[in-house]
Amino acid sequence: MKNIVIATIATSSILMSASLQTDAKNAGLKAIPTSTLELMKIIDNPKNPITNEKVELGKKLFFDPRLSKSGIISCNFCHNLGEGGDDGVEASIGHKWTANPHHVNAPTVYNAVFNDIQFWDGRAKDLEEQAQGPMQAHPEMASTTEHVERVINSMPPYVTEFKKAYGENVKISFEKITDTIGLYERTLVTPSVFDDFLNGDKDALTSKEKAGLKTFIKVGCASCHTGIGLGGAMNAFNVTGTYKYQNVGDFKGDKNGMVRVPTLRNITQTAPYYHNGKIWSLKEAIKEMGKIQLGTKLSTKQIDSIEEFLKALEGRKDPVIYPMLPASTATTPKPDMN
């Protein structure tokens, strides 16, 4: 009898897990593929296919602060890969220690390839186009296209690497440089136990995480936080209420008031939350979302349950080894703090 009971419980658990996997997929949640081939179909850029040479070069460029006017600020400055892929402050800090004038928070670069569109207002179609923005924005890297081109072309090792990646006749333009950074960023993918679960491992999630996933779907979180990124598309904001820090900064979304839904992957590592970074507690962020997007007052039990699921979205990250950058030369632009 005891063995029968145990077998029944085990069978019931398997069926419940299978049902939850189906419910999650029906709600629009998708896993990062386990197959490298399948993943490449999603993250690759047909116009500039990913290769090892381009990725390694893009990584160096991502970490090189000389692309900024001051020679201090790299892409990694605001998108710290050793942490959550962001900078961990409310409003990002840029040139001359300037806080973003719109009080906008830096989104994570991890899994950004799964976004439908880039920037909080969706003004860039992909990561390659997005990489051009911060470099030229005065409150950020304060650079120019000419400065960036001069920096890279002044260092023979960089020129050699571009030729190796793109061919002997490559023109090292601003667009080619930012395209290479964007291509590197496409590879910053962090699968988690949630993906293992959706990909068929019924035991990948704990019972609390499974309960949290059920709550997440039931209350309607998956209506916006969907797809592989659990976010990344444009959506209306302040649907059923007004964000309590709405007046901090002047960001109002795109011309239609739409805001890009942030990814929930690695959400435990990307505080503070919301476009202006005014909420530091994940529980408070969940509570506020319920009020302004779902029109419901989530209970403490529901909030705790959803948070438990969100913890399962912390992804596996490759160790970040800082690249050795080429030495500056006599023709490399000097740092300019003005």
Please list the active-site residues: 140
Q: Give Cα 62 distance to the centre of its chain.
A: 15
Q: Are 275 and 254 in contact (CB under 8 A)?
A: no
Residues linked to residue 279 through DSSP beta bridges, in sequence order: 273
259, containing H or E segment: strand 258-260
Alpha carbon distances (Å) from 44 to 40, 174, 177, 192, 304? 5, 21, 17, 20, 37
Q: What is the rounded CA–CA span in Å between residue 100 and residue 260? A: 18
Give, for 260, the enclosing helix (H) or strand (E). Answer: strand 258-260
**In contact, 116 and 233? CB cutoff 8 Å:** yes
**124 SS3 class:** strand
Tokens of 128: 């390659």
Greatest distance between any 2 Cα atoms in the chain: 83
The two tokens of residue 168 are 């002997």
Structural tokens at position 163: 């030729």
The whole-angstrom separation of Cα 55 and Cα 42 is 16
The runs of H, that is alpha helices, within the chain are 2-26, 36-43, 52-63, 75-78, 127-130, 132-136, 145-153, 156-166, 174-186, 193-198, 207-219, 282-289, 300-311
DSSP 30-64: -PPPSSHHHHHHHH--TTS---HHHHHHHHHHHH-
